Structure 1
Amino acid sequence: MSQIEKAKVFAELHVKGRPIILYNAWDAGSAKAIADAGAKAIATSSWAVAAAQGFKDGEDLPIAVAEQIVSRIAATVEKPVTMDFEGGYSDDDGALASNIERILDLGIVGINFEDRVVKGKGLYGVDRQASRISAIRDAADRKGIPLFINARTDVFLGNGDDVEEALKRGEAYANAGASGFFVPGVRVPDHIRRLVSETPIPVNVMVMDGVPSNDELAKLGVARVSYGALLYAESMSTLREKATKALS
């Protein structure tokens, strides 16, 4: 498939009530293993990618290294690839657009793009984040790629539990050109139900303690379920245990 075909297939996998399951990878090897297991698409986790290279999450991993890793993933698997691109590695809309154009050249068809101020505090204002999403959409349009922009809000991650704020952001991000709405940290079924019913784009929930099961998320209407850094953490824990036994 061409990159454009992969982008269209990836978008079509986001179905309300029949969520695409994304078991997040951190390098070409883990991506291939996940693809071989039957995954319909491959997603990276910024936390896992950074940790696997000895960096902390939060754009500490140099962008050139991040690009190299996602390039190898896209070249290794035939599935659509979406990249956790954090805050886009820039606060400047022009530089952000250039970054997007460059990673599109690597063959990816989707990104996660968060509203947390990565190198600062709190979240971007709604209007400011919407303008950043618009810059990304314009950059993708110039390249002719229907990029799936999974607009992430961190309203539920250390910033309270404000459903109304999340809904306001979901609508604004959709109007700015976002394709999906990623709400990590949301756990309460009624909150998830409201987000799904009142947000005009597919909703993504992340697996973590206290989050309903995947079956229940499907019943609530979620269109995408991702595992974040969970697989990496579990894999490293298993590796550590086996190494401890072998070396003791």
Structure 2
Amino acid sequence: MDFNTLHHQPQPLLIANAWDASSALAAEQAGYDALGTSSAAIATMLGYEDGEGMSFDELFYIVSRIKAVTELPLSVDLEAGYGDTTDQVIENIHRLAHLGVVGINIEDSRVINHERSLVDAIYFADKLRELIQACPGIFFNVRTDTFLLSCENTLEETLYRGRLYTEQGAHGLFVPCVTRADDIAALASEIAVPLNVMCMPSLPDFRTLTSLGVKRISMGNFIHANLQTQLTDLLCKIQAHHSFSDVFGHENNR
């Protein structure tokens, strides 16, 4: 089943967000149908802040290692594009497509001096149209950060941007941090492309999301962050107990 078709099934596409080859392999072994990268998780792994702190070449290398170990469809979180010009972003997407990447996430906000802010909707839509026309065959999952940034009249602004981006050819709309059932239902019913939501503490369960019309569910960087917390906890236990017993504790409970 191709990547686009995975977004048009009765059940939402639960996409596993990977950050390296081993996490991609774990997702494949667990039976996931598709992978997406998490820019925040990759940035953290490489010692950077999220928001294009790493270079595109560093991101590209990680993506190339993921593609080397799995044939699962892979969508790459391209953040704002990793380029100061539209031509640079197009070149980046072409490089990813050459690796076999089937989709990207691209967002309508930018991080400047450690502060994220929305880009003008019309400006972003015009740029988006150029990108889509120049990159046929790539699934453009367009992320709007209206809920993430708690902008004024959040739902109305999200609907406006979602319709605008859809008119320019977006294949999916990604709205991180939307969690209220009424908001999700409105977005799913009033935007003509598949709606993607993201793991959040108050996000409804998958059955409810299905009934609300969601077509794609992402994990963001939360799985990676959870594992990092477990790693820190284990390292602290080793130091505190002067023993490796905690490393093998699960074997003693068998």
Using structure 1 for the length normalisation, give the TM-score: 0.91
Report the Cα offset of residue 232 of structure 1.
0.1
40-49 or 120-129, which deviates more: 120-129
- 1:198 and 2:190 are equivalent in the alignment: yes
Report SS of the residue matched to 1:181. strand
Q: Pick one of 207, 210, 213 that aligns with 1:218.
A: 210
Deviation, 1:17, is 4.7
SS of 2:49's equivalent in the other structure is coil
- Where 1:225 maps in the other structure, the secondary structure is strand
The alpha-carbon distance between structure 1 residues 17 and 166, as it changes in their structure 2 partners (threshold 3 A), is: farther
Of 13, 18, 25, which residue of structure 1 is paired with 2:6? 13
- Range that drifts further, 56-65 or 110-119: 110-119
Which whole-Å CA distance do the structure 2 matches of 1:204 and 1:57 have between them? 20
| Other structure's SS at 1:10 match | coil
Ranked by relative contact order (alpha carbons within 8 Å, sequence separation 6 or more), the top structure is: 1
Counterparts of 1:16 and 1:164 in 2: how far apart (Å)? 27
Greater strand proportion: 2
CA distance in 2, matches of 1:177, 1:74: 27
Consecutive unaligned residues in structure 2, runs of 5 or more: 241-254
Aligned residues: 237
Three-state SS of the structure 2 residue aligned to 1:149 is strand
| TM superposition shift of 1:134 | 1.4
Residues 16 and 221 in structure 1, CA contact (< 8 A), matched pair in contact too: no
Give the aligned residue type for 1:165.
E
Q: Mark the structure with the bigger radius of gyration.
A: 2
Quote the residue 1:3 is aligned against: none
Equivalent residue for 2:225?
Answer: 233
What is the 5 A alignment of 1:26-37?
Answer: 26-37=19-30
Match of 2:96 among 93, 103, 107: 103
The reply to whether residue 158 of structure 1 matches residue 153 of structure 2 is: no
Aligned equivalents of 1:121 and 1:185: distance in 2?
15
Distance 2:84 2:111 in 1: 9
> 2:51·2:110 contact (CA, 8 Å) conserved in 1?
no
Q: Structure 1: give runs of 5+ residues left out of the alignment.
A: 1-7
Moved more, 158-167 or 218-227: 158-167
Separation of aligned partners in 2, 1:91 and 1:184:
24
**1:208 aligned to which of 200, 205, 210:** 200
2:76 is the alignment partner of 1:83? yes
Aligned-residue identity in percent: 39
Question: Equivalent residue for 2:138?
Answer: 147
CA distance in 2, matches of 1:126, 1:18: 31
Q: What CA deviation, in whole Å up to 9, does each residue of 1:48-69 have, x standing for no partner? A: 0100111110000111000000
Secondary structure, aligned partner of 2:3:
helix
TM-score of the two chains, using structure 2 as the length reference:
0.89
Q: CA RMSD in A?
A: 1.4
